[in-house]
Amino acid sequence: MFGNYLDGEFGNSGVISAFPDPDRHEPATPERSPEGRRKYRTIWISDIHLGTKGCNAELLIDFLDRVDSETLYLVGDIIDGWRLKKKFYWPAAHNDIVWRILKRAKRGTRIVYIPGNHDEMFRQFTGLNFGGIEIRRAAFHDTADGRRLMVLHGDEFDTVMLSHRWLAFVGDALYHFMMGLNNWVNAGRKALGLPYWSLSRMAKHKVKNAVEFIGKYEEVVARAAAERGVDGVVCGHIHTAEHRMIDDIEYWNDGDWVEGCNALVEHADGTMEILHWPEEIARREAQEAAEAEAAATPAAVAA
Ligand SMILES: [Mn+2]
């Protein structure tokens, strides 16, 4: 069913038919043992943009191999159909992410996939279950402490998307160009031993219009949540991780895996938190280095 649709859509051998069967294939990057993973009640991730060079697949693989949850929400723009239609790009690491997600479903994680605008081709499958993954247009999530959150991708409230679809495509092309630049900058930084740095995150904070757009977007989404009588909203789409109170409504944005590399998580008691994975990796590596040094020191003294 998916194979035929996507074959036509991409004019290629098809992404879905090439999807790995986690029982029969192994990922190119071997999975770390699931034991010892940090366990959350819920994880929300979005805007992965598989099928584009902008996707930070390595960081996402690292994340998926170190955390677990009872429920995982994929909050849209997981696969970038807009880009794949232009140019077929599907490296092994992107398949490894699909493998890890399908494997989680098999191990019993509840997975809810809410397609976004870049993967809108999956919206027609709303209500269906695909490999243990529920496809929804939106969802309601009840936290452990009894708050009700509306979960959606968020392009529904993007005024640029709604009134000027062509402008959204132009913006996408510019954004894609900038992400290409971002990759070059970070390849250089990596070679110099410098940590990951987001070009567009910096640019966004510098550009007044972008800040105004983001602020307005957050308010529109929060208002829509208030109209539905929920306590808050979780969305993605604008690639800007955020937690704000807007009037009495909790606004949460789970960020993206193109620039910020963020996830939103809910702990067992209902507390929620935005994770910035590059910072988590930096902290882990500093700790490992310190432990290695501590382990080496007594030996040096003894010698
Ligand atoms: Mn989007």
At 78, which CATH number?
3.60.21.10
- What's the confidence (pLDDT) of residue 5? 38
pTM score over 0.85: no
| Spacing, Cα 169 to ligand 1 middle (Å) | 11
Q: At what angle do helices 165-191 and 199-206 cross, to 10 degrees?
A: 130
| Spacing, Cα 108 to ligand 1 middle (Å) | 28
Segment among 60-74, 141-155, 239-253, 287-301 with least mean pLDDT = 287-301
| Spacing, Cα 136 to ligand 1 middle (Å) | 15
| Spacing, Cα 256 to ligand 1 middle (Å) | 10
Contact between 86 and 169 (Cβ < 8 Å): no
pLDDT per residue as tens digits for the range 275-298: 999 999 999 999 999 999 999 876
Average pLDDT for 137-148: 98
- What's the confidence (pLDDT) of residue 192? 82
| Spacing, Cα 196 to ligand 1 middle (Å) | 23
Count of CB atoms within 10 A of residue 242's CB?
17
| Cα(288)–Cα(271) distance, integer angstroms | 28
| Cα(16)–Cα(18) distance, integer angstroms | 5
Average pLDDT for 94-99: 96
- What's the confidence (pLDDT) of residue 164? 57
Segment among 70-79, 137-146, 191-200, 262-271 with least mean pLDDT = 191-200
| Spacing, Cα 298 to ligand 1 middle (Å) | 53
- What's the confidence (pLDDT) of residue 165? 57
| Spacing, Cα 76 to ligand 1 middle (Å) | 7
- What's the confidence (pLDDT) of residue 166? 59
Domain count, the chain: 1
- What's the confidence (pLDDT) of residue 209? 67
| Spacing, Cα 77 to ligand 1 middle (Å) | 5
Contact between 276 and 242 (Cβ < 8 Å): no
| Spacing, Cα 153 to ligand 1 middle (Å) | 7
| Spacing, Cα 158 to ligand 1 middle (Å) | 9
* pLDDT-based confidence at residue 182 (cuts at 50, 70, 90): confident
Assigned token pair, 295 = 């382990």
Residue 37 is part of which domain span? 2-302
| Spacing, Cα 22 to ligand 1 middle (Å) | 28
Average pLDDT for 169-196: 78
- What's the confidence (pLDDT) of residue 9? 41
| Spacing, Cα 74 to ligand 1 middle (Å) | 12
